[in-house]
Structure 1
């Protein structure tokens, strides 16, 4: 375990009482005998860096669990729902609640959005999504909406085993799948062809970050 991991472990025990704050950091330093200036070298922005580190730890735990499981017999919609459930199961409600209060502040909103987007991206990547076009963005945007609404529901859920949350999640995933079905029916119609030949052409130009773009300098085209 690294020093930063040990510090984060110690901080977590104080967050339910002090929130993600300097007070929690100072208390953690006393617990493990670490000088405060050293602690701040790990989390230079204090509360925001600590909360973000906790979030990234949860992401890593989720990925590890998903990679260790055989999901091949699940429908893809069920894999998505399962991944969201796993992400919540590796989290502590009070720590997440305190983190959401912190990221809700205007100054920290960008960090909160980044954390949400990264979680959605990791879920898609871990489940094998390889899209490189506009779908790379729409999939993450859609899952971000599902995940964030499910987290809010989960924070207020007092049902045994969070069963109400899992039912809510299933309904949200169902809504998304209905939308995808509509998209599938529209795709290939005359109206869709006309749209893609006109104003929709720009969609074909959108690529995921780092994805190759035809005709751009530095790209190798096989056969040349």
Structure 2
């Protein structure tokens, strides 16, 4: 094969995303995805040695990449940090929408006792990007962890709400997200005034 590593990884990822709505997210999913696109299974072991965890991390990074491009293009004129973070998460949900059917499988995977501790770092990277790029946050003290920790909670509660939302253009989810962000702003103000 003459393709570069990144292209091969994307091919395998896209194949996983294509078959996952109809398959279990088990240990065989990557080999099935490789078979689907005529790539030898051995390549998947080299490219994703940690299996499904690594495929999900690559998926997250792929979504992050698209999200950052859109944030940098679409949100340049928004000054309010809260508004920018709100719009960033909305953008992320728009990108994830075509994969909405597989999100419950990802949540189930991370709900397993041996995987649940990996969900936080999985999400942390994306929330850190949103805070740095959209929020302009460069803190390195306790605030660094507080802001990202609170946003991670908001993000996952919004995802769970979004998965059940049948409103037009997910307006109910957007309202929910706005309320959650307003709440953490109030928490931040209270902490700052202590």
Give the TM-score of the pair, scaled to structure 1: 0.77
- Map of 2:3 onto structure 1: none
Displacement after TM superposition at 1:104 (Å):
0.9
Q: CA RMSD in A?
A: 1.7
Unaligned runs of 5+ in 1: 187-191, 193-224
Which SS does the other structure have where 2:35 is aligned? Answer: helix
Q: Give runs of aligned pairs for residues 26-45 of structure 1, distance below 5 A.
A: 26-45=31-50
CA separation in 1, counterparts of 2:30 and 2:153? Answer: 32
Relative to 1, partners in 2 of residues 1:138 and 1:121: Cα closer, same or farther, differing over 3 Å?
Answer: same
Q: Give runs of aligned pairs for residues 74-93 of structure 1, distance below 5 A.
A: 74-91=79-96, 92-93=99-100
1:94 has 2:111 as partner: no
Comparing 19-28 and 63-72, the one that deviates more = 19-28
- Map of 2:120 onto structure 1: 113
Answer 1 or 2: which has greater helix percent.
2
CA separation in 1, counterparts of 2:78 and 2:89? Answer: 18
Q: Give runs of aligned pairs for residues 44-59 of structure 1, distance below 5 A.
A: 44-59=49-64
Unaligned runs of 5+ in 2: 1-5
Which is greater in Rg? Answer: 1
Give the TM-score of the pair, scaled to structure 2: 0.88
Which SS does the other structure have where 2:114 is aligned? Answer: helix
Q: How many residues align?
A: 186
CA contact (8 A) 1:20 1:48 kept: no
